[in-house]
Chain A
Amino acid sequence: MLIGNKGKFFAMIFGVALTSLIITQQSSIFVGLMSRTVGFIFDTPLPDLWVMDPKVQFVDDIKPMQDTKLLQVRGVQGVEWAVPLYKGSIRARLANGTFQTCNVIGLDDATLVGGPPTMVSGRVADLRLADSVIVDEAAAQGKLAKPGPTPQSPKTPLKIGDLLELNDNRAVVVGIARTTRTFQSQPIVYTTYSRATRFAPRERKLLSFILAKVKPGEDFTEVARRINGQTGLAAYTAPQLKGLTIRYFMKNTGIPINFGIAVGLGFLVGVAIVGQTFYSFITDNMRYLGILKAMGAKNNVLFTMIILQTFLVGALGSGIGMGIASLTSIISKNSELAFYMPWQIPVVTVLATTLITLLTTIFSLWKVIRLEPGIVFRG
């Protein structure tokens, strides 16, 4: 038995929908951006432990180690194998003479552990060919694509067999890989460890990470502790390194604050719209609620009516809002937009809209408890 005013009913649904849209959308973009910071870790699933200089604060914060550290790590009890990984920025010179900084990943020459997750064309094993590199798909079509004769003319995507110049060294493209987008969106170039260190500017230390596999039956944290004790290096599991990286970005960039403000605003807008429409809705209907009460409707009957109505609004509104957000997610799947919606986000959105609904419901119930049926005889 809904006492209805269609306009207000839709205004309330709209308010909840807008709120849940903003909350879902903003937190998904936030999570999307944050997961980009750890995209590289996602793409390197094989090792159990990532070993690095203890002062490293996040995955792109490279503090090179001496090559001898690799042997030390291999000697730690419980380590099945350990391979070197180079990760660093190297300038590529494009055919038209402009430069583009690339994120070069150097994989262990023998095993190629840490290679690209999905190949679009070519094979990872072709990295064993002379001067070979694999570039990521987005860069091949974008930042590393060959420019046309004029700035306006379309670029030609990089393909197998094309040449690149990395820090004055010749490189041949032998494959195109699909990688998880990273935060800096720099082109990713895979090659072998020895070649990467040859491309890289001369430095005393070049070993960025040591990727280690733990022997079956050994405890990860125990082995990590041993590595730290014997080599002075830090060893993290992939989730730990992701956590470290995300915490670093949270603490040191304005990203969380900006998104926090957007999400908070969304919530306030929702509370304001829904609260305000619901308030006037209840006030308008006070007379009818009073009549029902005079005719014998107990408080719990009136409560049920109000709760049914608010929760219908809450459910419809958050459904519509999250629906639009998911639609954006589908549409933006192949775009630059960072949008990632893990299951926690809808849950949080539902909690937020439930909270709004609850607040307005409690407010309405409070009005109903104080309702004097005597108002029914007043003009």
Chain B
Amino acid sequence: MTTPARRRLMRDFKRLQEDPPSGVSGAPSDNNIMLWNAVIFGPHDTPFEDGTFKLTIEFTEEYPNKPPTVRFISKMFHPNVYADGSICLDILQNRWSPTYDVSAILTSIQSLLHDPNPNSPANNEAAQLYRENRREYEKKVAAIVQESWNDDDDEGEEDEEEEESKAGS
């Protein structure tokens, strides 16, 4: 059945393939266009560089009038990312506009990795280290960058990873 939300998501996917923004990628899951898997590559010149961070994006039939729910599946250490992977980002909440598409969402999250906003912390430890002890902050980020590779290599092998992707769907 095709609905405005599904039609729009097909357009989003087409646009993402035709005009792929650098450093992000995403696609609908195999049998459900309302659930997407995405990857954000850590931006250059940030402590997240070389990391490959996986996310899920869940849409409702109210899309694009309502924003989707976006969540990191890979472990994240960032002032604006909660422990469960959900993200504190204004365009995903009160500053949402129906003109945003998946490409815009992913690039916004990518730039959040670039410029954390320590004033609205979702992770207090990360926010505090970001403000007061940048070296320690970078060390912690480096650790989750390493972990993000393990995710990649062992995909489907590690029990933990399997559990997680089940929970996400």
- To the question of whether A and B form a pair in one complex, the answer is no
Q: Which residues of B contact A (CB under 8 A)?
A: none
